[in-house]
Structure 1
Amino acid sequence: MSTEHTLSTARTTAGVIGVGAMGANHARVYSELPNVELAGVTDHDADIARQVADEYGTDALTLEELLERCDVVSVAVPTHVHYDLVTTCLEADVNVLVEKPIAETVEEGRRMAALAEERGLVLQVGHIERFNPAVQTIAELIDELDVISLEAERLGPPIDRTAPGNVIFDLMVHDVDIVGSILDSTPNSITAMGTEDGRYATATMEYNDVVASLTASRVTQKKVRKLNVTARECFVEVDYLEQSVLIHRDSYPEYVNDEGQKRYRHESVVERPRIDNGEPLRHELASFVESVRANDKPEVTPQDGIEALQAVQTIDQLVEDRQGQKPATVLSEGDHDSDEREVEAP
């Protein structure tokens, strides 16, 4: 998938429901996209809605007024109200991009997906890292590799250090989606553990013969967003923040004689693919708008969002179950020989 999304000449009216930190960025990007008009914003806090509307030259509206004006909307509100708001938008024949996770429950996600399909509308899930140029680069390379393992780290304190929430749903969900999309698969088994306060979690996910290790943390005092891919041909480092990819090949460790002294030397060939860097949110919203204009399947489908939600719910359950117990594993059908506690796979 190219990082460039060329929008057609038809003008699309867009709106944002929920203009907190993320929603305000959606409003900014819609106001900048070519052939897109930011028709308005709405928020339960009228003062914030007016402030964002004034900043981006649009109107603060009621939900009903906004839906009357818009072809597309972004829904950037707490997860527990996704279902009601997305359903209201779809019933008003408005296409929706809903922030991750898709819904509070898998059943709600399935109902939303069914309604969008029934009404012939685009429902895209806001897994923004899919649109990171570095991720798109590794996605293009992965088919050429015999992958053994992936390791993702999403670490660092939030901007608001008092922010509540569980790192599994807030942070790890990004990497669950990325790994699933890169491997084009769902996990056969999951093992997980984490802290009681929900600020640190790790998960090991098996995809047939590939193992993915994910770590999410709000207690680590350094911001890290990385993905490492170990393949038989090479080792790939992806840095989400730097939007960079390094490919290490032909690694040669050896001892050499240097003036009578033996020393260790390790050389390798490092490739740095050219990446057209850019703002992932801009690529995401441009892709969404283009899917609507073309009446085409979005880059991140409701089913993608549902699969990511299923996985993080399982991870969260395993972490809860493990408190004070031995490690728990979710197993696929046919893998029930283990003595570890088993939970039916999603």
Structure 2
Amino acid sequence: MSAALHPPLRVAIVGLGKMGSLHYAAWQRLPNVRITTLVDCEPDRIRWAAAQEMIGLDSVQDLVGKVDVAVIATPSDQHVGNALPLLEAGIHCLVEKPLALTFAGCRRLVDASRCSGALLAVGHSERFNPALHLARSALSGHAPCVEVIRAAPPPQRSLKSDSDVVQDLMIHDLDWLLDTLGAPEEELRLLEWRRQDGQLSHVRCQLNYANGRRVNLTACRESDRRQRQVRLYEGDMANRVIDLDVRYASHEPDALTRQAQAFLMALRGEPSPIALGSQALEAVLLGERIRNGCQMAEAVL
């Protein structure tokens, strides 16, 4: 651990919704870590924090000087507002994906991290899915065409997302594909897209690489079931299908716990598979190109 930090690390969870609760459980499993503080706007959650002998706050501004690490698990449109003052104050941050809803917002967070020296990492927990390691290995072969499909049912009306299907679902695959293959050098092609209630709910696009490889990406929030697959094609037939939803028997911790461990590795200056802010910046930029492309094409129609 860096010289400026001494165990136990003081950790704050910012936002105790569904993802925040999962992060809370994951960080609780780590040695030399103590979750000292919860930040949330819901009074019931603040009372719950007090019952757990934690400090309950309603603003991140009050965290400065009190914690070493903050896990930001608020709605996506609040990521910049919550993470920026913490990074500027030198507090290390793990921010749920997407890092921000715009490239400009991501840029502000990355710049703040660089100026203060605080670690900025992003919750692309798919990186810690054992099935994804198979997909990464398969992509080291010569399959000229790859198809990546990620589908989910529409969000419940009471849980309407503040992000569209590119920002919410496709961003997972943009992250690991960029990390594995690098940025596509050739033209980005939009193949199909639809909106529901003004938001992109289905997008299909193609990333093209200079070596001739094509990656077709589909993200859909209109499905009747969850689906996460990587298909590799030789000719017209898929010669390998990797199901990213398969749960392999393993003695390893769950993905969020391994992500938290990887965050601590990065904090100690060790090689780590965690998604850093600069990498998330590239994924959000590509996602923004896809979203803007849909909007520009609609303007022409």
Match of 1:250 in 2: none
Aligned AA (2:56): A
1:81-107 residue CA offsets vs partner (Å, 9 max, x unmatched): 322322211122110111122223223
- When normalised by structure 1's length, the TM-score is 0.74
Match of 2:167 in 1: 169
1:58–1:74 CA distance, 2 compared to 1 (3 A): same
Pairwise CA RMSD: 2.7
1:280 aligns with 2:255: yes
Match of 1:289 among 250, 264, 276: 264
Checking the alignment, whether the CA contact within 8 Å between 1:103 and 1:109 is kept in structure 2 is yes
Match of 1:203 among 197, 205, 210: 205
Q: Tell me how far apart the structure 2 counterparts of residues 309 and 189 of structure 1 sit (CA, whole Å).
A: 17
Q: Tell me how far apart the structure 2 counterparts of residues 147 and 29 of structure 1 sit (CA, whole Å).
A: 37
Checking the alignment, whether the CA contact within 8 Å between 1:113 and 1:303 is kept in structure 2 is yes
Greater CA deviation, 181-190 or 291-300?
Answer: 291-300
Match of 1:305 in 2: 280
Instruction: Please give the secondary structure, in 2, of the residue aligned with 1:177.
Output: helix
Q: Tell me how far apart the structure 2 counterparts of residues 107 and 24 of structure 1 sit (CA, whole Å).
A: 28
1:91-141 residue CA offsets vs partner (Å, 9 max, x unmatched): 221101111222232233223212212222210112111111111343345
Match of 1:6 in 2: none
Flag structure 2 segments of 5+ consecutive residues without an equivalent. 1-5
Q: Tell me how far apart the structure 1 counterparts of residues 55 and 244 of structure 2 sit (CA, whole Å).
A: 34
Match of 1:135 in 2: 132
1:185 aligns with 2:183: yes
Match of 1:156 among 144, 149, 152: 152
Match of 1:323 in 2: 298
Greater CA deviation, 80-89 or 93-102?
Answer: 80-89
1:33–1:137 CA distance, 2 compared to 1 (3 A): farther
Instruction: Please give the secondary structure, in 2, of the residue aligned with 1:178.
Output: helix
1:31-82 residue CA offsets vs partner (Å, 9 max, x unmatched): 122221111111122323433x368663322424434332111112233332
Query: 1:324 deviation in Å?
Result: 7.4
Compare the two structures and name the one with the higher strand fraction.
1
Q: Tell me how far apart the structure 1 counterparts of residues 144 and 14 of structure 2 sit (CA, whole Å).
A: 42
Q: Tell me how far apart the structure 1 counterparts of residues 134 and 66 of structure 2 sit (CA, whole Å).
A: 37
Query: 1:325 deviation in Å?
Result: 4.8
Query: 1:319 deviation in Å?
Result: 1.9
1:119–1:201 CA distance, 2 compared to 1 (3 A): same
Match of 1:194 in 2: 193
Checking the alignment, whether the CA contact within 8 Å between 1:196 and 1:323 is kept in structure 2 is no
1:277-323 residue CA offsets vs partner (Å, 9 max, x unmatched): 64211111111122113376773122211111111111112222333
Q: Tell me how far apart the structure 2 counterparts of residues 102 and 161 of structure 1 sit (CA, whole Å).
A: 24
Compare the two structures and name the one with the higher helix fraction.
2
Q: Tell me how far apart the structure 2 counterparts of residues 43 and 207 of structure 1 sit (CA, whole Å).
A: 44
Flag structure 1 segments of 5+ consecutive residues without an equivalent. 1-8, 245-273, 327-346
Q: Percent identity?
A: 24
Match of 1:241 among 230, 242, 245: 245
Match of 2:3 in 1: none
Match of 1:96 among 89, 93, 96: 93
Query: 1:212 deviation in Å?
Result: 1.0
Instruction: Please give the secondary structure, in 1, of the residue aligned with 2:149.
Output: strand
1:324–1:43 CA distance, 2 compared to 1 (3 A): same
Greater CA deviation, 126-135 or 292-301?
Answer: 292-301
Query: 1:149 deviation in Å?
Result: 2.1
Aligned AA (1:70): V
Checking the alignment, whether the CA contact within 8 Å between 2:99 and 2:122 is kept in structure 1 is yes
1:187–1:83 CA distance, 2 compared to 1 (3 A): farther
Instruction: Please give the secondary structure, in 2, of the residue aligned with 1:281.
Output: helix
Aligned AA (1:169): Q
Aligned AA (2:78): V
Q: Which has the larger radius of gyration?
A: 1
Aligned AA (2:222): V
1:321–1:26 CA distance, 2 compared to 1 (3 A): same
| Equivalences, count | 286
Greater CA deviation, 133-142 or 74-83?
Answer: 133-142
1:15–1:227 CA distance, 2 compared to 1 (3 A): same
1:57–1:155 CA distance, 2 compared to 1 (3 A): farther
